[in-house]
Structure 1
Amino acid sequence: MAHSVRPHEQDLEDQLDWAANAEACAVSYIRNLAAALERGDAELGVDPSAWENTMAAVQWAMLEHVHGRATWPPTITLEDVERMRRLHVLGSVALSGGERSPELYPLALRCMESLVGPDWKCISYEFELNVRALNHDVRPDTGRDEDSR
């Protein structure tokens, strides 16, 4: 007889999957934003609607982690959630054409570190490739556009 998953367990598993996807998207968007800021690009490379949705989702996932309902390394603290909220607000202003606070770039780096740890540069690149692959932009094995074979 096949093992069946109880509805509550399935809901929890779905929420954890959703939280992991929110984290991956957030890291990818934050990385893109930080890279554009570092280069001084006029275009920040993140859709404002996608930013809003993803940042709200990752803040929810981070609070789930703080309250012990979801876990991933590294440990997320309330201070990390507050930093992410601040990044959400400052990023929203910048993405809508407003002020680019000098706090935005270092805050983006710190938030990536709080999500994936001190090796955020390497990990954030991998997350970006996976998110782009999910969006069918690139092949995850090569990192190249699917159309440029």
Structure 2
Amino acid sequence: MPHPDQPLTNDDEEEDLLDDEEEDLLDDEEEDLLDWASIATLYAVGYIRILADAIERGDADLQVDPVAWENTLTAVEGVMVEHIRGRLHGPTAITAEDVQRMRRLRGLGSAALSGGERSPELCPLALQCMESLFGPDWKRAAREAVFYARALNQEFHPRSGT
């Protein structure tokens, strides 16, 4: 880098361009991580709300594909870990206990979706997990997320006759 009073040479300009490109790559990586985290969180909250509501109503059809549930909740656990590591930031401070609750919810939901026990713990745990992701605004976020999760679930896991 030349002294501030010296004019830039072609080599200096090329070096500046390379530095800008490296910064853009980091920005793209961070942007991709943020996009992935936002989408995973959105769909996870949607599936959590759909499943909890169906269990609360006593529906025979829990309305969530088991594979979608497992993949999405595993992804959101990863997002939560990235929050703890400081790579992501959101509306709440995620703790290790929040990640453990999400893992517990994933397990309870998987059991219910495979025809096993519908634990009475699932619904209160679902509310805690949604709040840990969105804070006091979790209800609004969940309503919006349900719309997107239902659409995605229908697109990739259509049900016959519905």
Alignment TM-score, normalising by the size of structure 2:
0.77
Q: Tell whether the 8 Å contact from 2:65 to 2:153 is kept in structure 1 after alignment.
A: no
**Mapped partners of 1:109, 1:45: distance in 2:** 18
Match of 1:53 among 71, 74, 78: 71
**Mapped partners of 1:71, 1:46: distance in 2:** 28
**1:42 equivalent in structure 2:** 60
**2:5 equivalent in structure 1:** none
**Mapped partners of 2:150, 2:143: distance in 1:** 11
**1:71 equivalent in structure 2:** 89
- Residue 106 of structure 1, CA deviation: 0.7
Kindly provide the amino acid, as one letter, of the partner of residue 21 in structure 1.
Answer: I
How many residues align? The count is 135
**2:110 equivalent in structure 1:** 92
Match of 1:126 among 111, 134, 144: 144
**Mapped partners of 1:51, 1:74: distance in 2:** 23
Q: Tell whether the 8 Å contact from 2:83 to 2:89 is kept in structure 1 after alignment.
A: yes
Question: Which residues of structure 1 form unaligned runs of 5+?
Answer: 138-149
Structure with the higher fraction of residues in helix conformation = 2
**Shift in CA distance, 62/136, structure 1 to aligned 2, threshold 3 Å:** closer
**Mapped partners of 1:54, 1:122: distance in 2:** 20
For the pair shown, the structure with the greater C-alpha radius of gyration is 2
Question: Which residues of structure 2 form unaligned runs of 5+?
Answer: 1-16, 155-162
Larger RCO (alpha carbons 8 Å, 6+ apart): 2
Larger displacement relative to structure 2 (119-128 or 27-36): 119-128
- Residue 129 of structure 1, CA deviation: 2.5
**1:141 equivalent in structure 2:** none
Identity of aligned residues (%): 58
Alignment TM-score, normalising by the size of structure 1:
0.83
**2:120 equivalent in structure 1:** 102
Say whether 1:13 aligns with 2:55: no
